[in-house]
Amino acid sequence: MAHPDGGRGTRFQRAHTFEQAYAFVAGEVQFPSTTGQNITARHGTTNDGQTQTIVFHSERGRMADVCSQCWDFGNNCSGDRTGTRAGQYIRGLDEFMD
């Protein structure tokens, strides 16, 4: 399973759309996650190059990525059935954009 395959877990109301966030991230953006990590966001694509993603890195490396279909969810649509928890980065970026 890979993006775009819908999100996983709880659905949230975001202040901004994935498209707005993708435009905001152009280049590189640093912001705090809701869990207090310093996160760097960059553009990415899925392995097949078909889907645009935002990739979240911490000082520990690549943490998660998000596409337009899982932007509203707590867990992304990459990896296994439960996805990867990404809501703490998505919400952090969403709030940082204000």
- What are residue 65's DSSP bridge partners? 55
CA neighbor of 16 nearest in space, from 88, 89, 98: 98
Indicate the SS3 state at residue 86.
Answer: coil
Only one of the segments 9-17, 26-34, 41-49, 77-85 lies at the binding site for Zn ion (rule: CB under 5 A); that segment is 77-85
- CB of 15: closest distance to Zn ion in angstroms? 19
- CB of 69: closest distance to Zn ion in angstroms? 5
What is the amino acid identity at position 39? Answer: I
Q: Between 36 and 49, whose beta carbon lies closer to Zn ion? A: 49
Residue 77 in contact with Zn ion, rule: CB under 5 A? yes
Indicate the SS3 state at residue 6.
Answer: coil
Only one of the segments 25-33, 38-46, 73-81, 90-98 lies at the binding site for Zn ion (rule: CB under 5 A); that segment is 73-81
Kindly tell me the number of DSSP H helices and DSSP E strands found in the chain: 2, 6
Chain contacts with Zn ion (rule: CB under 5 A) = 3, 67, 69-70, 76-77
